[in-house]
Amino acid sequence: MIGRNDTDRFARGTGRPRVVIVGGGFGGLWAARRLARSGRVDVVLVDRNNYHTFLPLLYQVAAAEIEPEQIAYPLRGVFRGQQRVSVALADVRGVDADRRVLHTDGPDIPYDHLILAPGSLTSFFGVPGAAENAYTLKSLEDAVRLRNHILACFERASLTEDPARRAALLTFTVVGGGPTGVEFAGALAELVRTPLARDFPELAGKTPPRIVLLEAADGLLTGFPEQLRTYARDRLALMGVEVRTRAGVAEVGPTDVRLGDGLRIATCTVAWTAGVRGHDVAGAMGLPVGRGGRVPVLPTLQVDGRPEIHVVGDLALPDGQNPPMIAPNATQQGRHAAANVLRLLKGGTAKTFRYRDKGAMATIGRQAAVVRLGRFAISGLWAWVLWLFVHLAYLIGFRNRLFVLVNWAWDYLFFERSVRLILPRVTMDDAVCEAPSEAAPDAAKTGGAGDAAPDRAGDSAGA
């Protein structure tokens, strides 16, 4: 963290306008890049981490497919050699909008324009026990924690002779049928069916691993064409994933999940990918907060009455629009806010933001993906190849691209995951749940993936 005695570093003095950006994610990073190229302003990028995380591949860290550092890149490395860009490792505490000063846990940082791009947090939709007992996927720490837990569950299952406890340890529940949930369920199925099956021969013939994907809506992958949703459902079923739609979660306990219809699933692992909300930093800064924890802003992405404050990415809710809380929207808004800042500094007026939907994609394991490009729908091998190319292209850093590609190739050729490490070390008592009182007879009440008709997507899983 920055010390109080470093305040002078951020004192005004260059004579150039200063733009402070909160958040080193997609919105903040793309805004900083656009401003840096202009050469007309000083930029201070504030983040609690010193790196940018490529969130679309976060689930692969949790599924032991790639290393966490392979999808992260140092923020200072991005702007190396650019003298007008500074990086401040700090937590935001608030803002004095009248004085135009950002408060952090280190020094106060004055600004001429402020761009807020802190991202989002997991939304649990008020489901009891979800925040305490579910695993989330919003940060590298989350992904590593979930990976460690999954591997620890197998280790503990190999040591127990109690069938009920072993079943709970080897039942992995994914909540949310959006792209992240679908991708993680597919990656997890490949992990437990091949690499971990080889690692734990003592479990062969006993309780087979079970993966359950829960979605509160009546289908998977909202916004995708019908044929792609059907393909995703069928592909997951082929991989052994149980897809349960219209399965809203009512409660998450340490050893089970209770659905809205009273059904209980004994499980020691609940991965929550069901939804997001705007970051809490907006409330700490005294900004208005609307639907989904997002800040209502003008169509220009400016806060009403505060034209020098711009909000982008998952936190922004432009008037009359409802752009998706995804990386392409954040990058578009980041560039747009930066361009508006430059227009305002030249005495011009800010322009209205319009989200340009370039499509959507999700991978479902080996040689399988779904891609929507305008009116075109692609599935299967070529969609998977396109998914690989796009994600490698947007990943920051040549080294990261190279190592991710190597890991993907190794996994593809040898059906092997190279990151099956419980690191940092955890004790078994900390890593896995206690034995359930009894196994929940859920299979007798509800069929598997074939009985549900997932024809609509969504990350929703509310009570």
Nearest Cα neighbor of 78 from 400, 345, 325, 333 is 400
Q: Which of 65, 183, 215, 242 is catalytic?
A: 183
Q: Kindly report the three-state secondary structure assignment for every residue of 35-90.
A: HHHHCCCEEEEEECCCEEECHHHHHHHHCCCCCHHHHEEEHHHHCCCCCCEEEEEC
Phi and psi based region of residue 315 (left: phi greater than 0; alpha: psi -120 to 50; beta: remaining): alpha
| Strand ranges inside 314-432, DSSP E | 316-318, 360-363, 369-373, 376-379
Question: Token pair 């922004």 is at which residue?
Answer: 316
Nearest Cα neighbor of 463 from 122, 130, 120 is 130
* CA-to-CA dists, residue 369 to 90, 176, 453, angstroms: 39, 18, 19
Name the DSSP class of 435.
Answer: P
Pull the structure tokens for residue 29: 């990073």
Active site residue 242: no
Tell me how far the alpha carbon of residue 17 is from its chain's centroid: 33
Rg of the chain's alpha carbons, rounded to an integer?
A: 23
Judge contact between 140 and 60, C-beta under 8 A.
no
Pull the structure tokens for residue 453: 């008709």
Question: Token pair 């995804």 is at which residue?
Answer: 326
**What's the CA gap between 107 and 88, in Å, rounded?**
10
Ordered alpha helix ranges (H), 111-245 = 130-133, 140-157, 163-169, 179-193, 195-199, 226-238
Active-site residues: which are they?
A: 183
